[in-house]
Amino acid sequence: IKTAQVAADKEKAAKNQAKEAVREQNQKDKEEALTKTGESLVLEDAEIRLPKKDELVRQLDYHRNAESALEIPDGARIPCKLNIRTNAMHIEYLLAAATRYKAR
């Protein structure tokens, strides 16, 4: 029985290590995407209205991440993705975030 338990524990440990490696890779990919987005920030009002939704989401992710360490009132923070439903809302929050970014 002990040998079976030891084998099961080793198998579980191997699975957990694989999951952790995937988690770390996903985190690294996310950080690289944020860095890449940071290099091509759209800050002009006219340009903010041009990108497609996926680019707006990436820009908002960058600003959300950058503002997480700053002291910003809760009402002014960029809400989570689930609470931003329309393209107009994405543009509105990105315009506000770009204004705060320029002011820093």
**Residue-wise pLDDT tens digits, 46-60:** 666 666 777 888 888
The packing angle between helices 2-39 and 53-67, to 10°, is 100
Could you report the per-residue pLDDT of 55-84, keeping only the tens digit for each? Answer: 888 888 888 888 777 777 777 788 887 788
Average confidence (pLDDT) over 23-51: 75
For residue 13, give every residue at least 6 positions away whose Cβ sits within 8 Å of its Cβ, in sequence order, or none.
none
Residue pair 102/43 in contact (Cβ under 8 Å)? The answer is yes
How far apart are the two ends of the chain, measured CA to CA in Å?
A: 63
* Confidence tier at 44 by pLDDT (50, 70, 90): low
Residue pair 59/37 in contact (Cβ under 8 Å)? The answer is yes
Residue bearing the bigger pLDDT, 10 or 36: 10
Residue bearing the bigger pLDDT, 88 or 22: 22
DSSP single-letter state for residue 14: H
Of 98, 64, 100, residue with least CA distance to 82? 64
